[in-house]
Structure 1
Amino acid sequence: MKYLLKQATIINEGTSTVSDVLIQNDRIEKIASTIEDGTAKEINCEGKYLVPGSIDDQVHFREPGLTHKGNIHSESRAAVAGGITSFMEMPNTVPNALTQELLADKYEIAANSSIANYSFFMGASNDNIEEVLKTNPKDVCGVKVFMGSSTGNMLVDEPTTLNKIFGEVPMLIATHCEDEGTVRRNMETYKAKFGEDVPIKYHPEIRSEEACYLSSSMAVELAKKHNARLHVLHISTAKELSLFENKTPLAEKRITAEACVHHLWFSEEDYAEKQTLIKWNPAVKKKTDREAIWQAVLDNRIDVLATDHAPHTIEEKNNTYFKAPSGGPLVQHALLALLEKSKQGVISKERVIEKTAHAPATLFGVENRGFIREGYFADLVIIDPNKTTTVSKDNILYNCGWSPFEGTTFNHQIEKTFVNGNMVYDNHKVIDQSNGRRLSFNRFD
């Protein structure tokens, strides 16, 4: 199908301009003030935003092995409904993606079922460095290292192994940073005091600032020692922000950082209402942490914004502290939540698009995506700033059927989403007629 988007307010590369956009096949064919093409399906975008689709660099779509929580098809449908057109998924599925064969299995599942474009991180463990080194940086987004507890055999805590990974892996290393020893000691302290029923408000004390900083600083130290390409995920504390700088252009940075929507939206005050629904690792912490992370987003110490989308069933979440799993579903509402912050004056809408589309594309070297440019893939989102979206069970697309944003009204609405030139979402309906594609990369430092 050929589409002609008329008089859209294009938010792209720091500016907002009104133009027409012609989509032909899978690409953006032309951008101009006026385009006429009688063979294209015309869509009136007057008064609406046209933005590049978000590239979410951290999701857990739960397939294989945990599909009662979600699967690549269900969660990618929710993603495109939320304006996310590409995702990078983590290796802590069951089995863990710790071999090239298991990694290939995930790509095959996605090729047959994902509505959005996709990539999958290769998993590292204490004993699979040979497999890790076989990873192709051209078509795999990076290597994931859990420097804190995770599913199965994925905790990497041996100093020799960490030095080997940081010293020998030539591609991007993404880390979950929480010091395991600190977390376990804190757990024992609170378990001795409360037993199994620790109040959720103590989650940020158990998965503490100290645990985060000890681990993040170790990762940064290792990266500097070996000149490795490090990307630290889901920063949750003000203290960690001192580890990152904002003078080097993003395309040249060796050490980068990500923040997630929940650490920018919630604070410890929300545990009283939301309880374990907002239990994440790393934990949502103080208001002062949230404010500091926002400042780091604005001054470019934080490079990208993501979701860490990690669905669990509501039955699993409605449990006592130690039994309730960490994580929550976010891809359908992340862009709306960030645009709400732009409406509140916290961040400009241009910066939202920079941090969710341009910056991930630059940071990972995603080929021909993340920008509205002639010749680039037509991964595009039309947003109506004059309509609202109220999150309710009736319109949640996650397989798990709930959201921490239930009851929230956002002052924007995702109207249409295109992936590779195909309309995959149109006015509250996902169109299951085409699949996304495997992402390719061109940053090999």
Structure 2
Amino acid sequence: MTQSNFFVTSMLLLLGLAAAAPVNSPDSTGFRLPIKNKDVKVASIIPNRYIVVYNNTFESKAIDAMEASFAASLKKRNLGKRSLDGKPLSTEVMSLSMNTWRASVLDADDDMFMEMHNSNEVAYIEADAKVHTQAVIAQINAPPGLVRLSHDQAGGKNYVYDESAGEGITAYIVDTGIRATHTQFEGRATFAANFVDRVNTDENGHGSHVAGTIGGATFGVAKKVQLMGVKVLGKDGGGANSGVLQGLNFVMADVKKKGLAGKAVMNMSLGGSRSDAVNSAIQQLAAAGIVPVVAAGNENQNAGNTSPASARAAITVGAIDAKNDAKASFSNFGQSVDIFAPGVDILSVGIKNDQDTNVLSGTSMASPHVAGLSAYLMGLQKQMETPNQVENLMENLAGKTGAAVRGNAQGTTPLIANNGSK
């Protein structure tokens, strides 16, 4: 398994003595433990696993000491215990660090939870929750969304773009992995890290499809961008917020290691219940000069109810049908949505072989259009290096076209992504 060695560290603990029962079973009114994300659906909860976020007002040494204290407690308390789903409680603590943001992922019983919750060093604790891809139906004979991206109005014929095509920019795809050997990627793709299983390739196809829209030779918006697959979702398209956070942690570390601040884009075409931990991590990425682009979600609801779509630092993308600019029936909406892009019947990379193609619909497909556009604009405008600059230019270009989303929800931006070519 490929993982970052810079900020993500695991502490395998010695086994002590303990006993007890599963914890954190919700009652009829919600959760009896004071978790931060109380709005999460019970079915999405990963039993007894928590994301512990520390106060950034404490020095790093104090947090290190507190984390070590938690680890020492776990080695005694978790032996022989099982979570609500019958799985043994882990004695492993995963430490996360992004700039001044610090967190731990661990399994805990009720007593351990309250010990952590009552610590001054702890800002809040979230229950770990499931996340999933944001793709929906697959259909055949799909029109390319790229044409819409380079024309003011629907009905264009060709994709028009500058030959710079995102050269010098790196795009991180936090998803199901990537089929790096696919001919569409022309040797520009790397399977960079895995935080969900031991299979270092894309067994689902979602991540490769997304990567193809960002930077495929035929299907990509930015045809010269470097592509980095960060696997946080498994073969079934599912994962956990804790794995997503590990993926974001890796992106931060890799960008710092390679000096890519101001030259990196991160796409997350996934979603789940609202998570302040995930949203805060995205804020840290943006502060480090990484452009975060995320899918709005496919529930036809307010995107502010979900993460990462509700992250204020992210560019949140809703989906339209490129044929007529109509809001896709599944697309989420609301003030959290920053821009729309094609997300219906999108042709891109498949994973059956290195020449395979596939057609998918979803805000998962809209988001990589904008991630690719971000890389394209950064490569074109060499002086533009901050996420705010990228978003402002993108919104300015979209506003000049006069196009607007049809059938849009009240209070939602009408802007449709455009590369400024026509």
Q: TM (normalized to structure 1)?
A: 0.32
Larger RCO of the pair (alpha carbons < 8 Å, separation 6+): 1
Structure richer in helix, relative to its length: 1
Q: TM (normalized to structure 2)?
A: 0.33
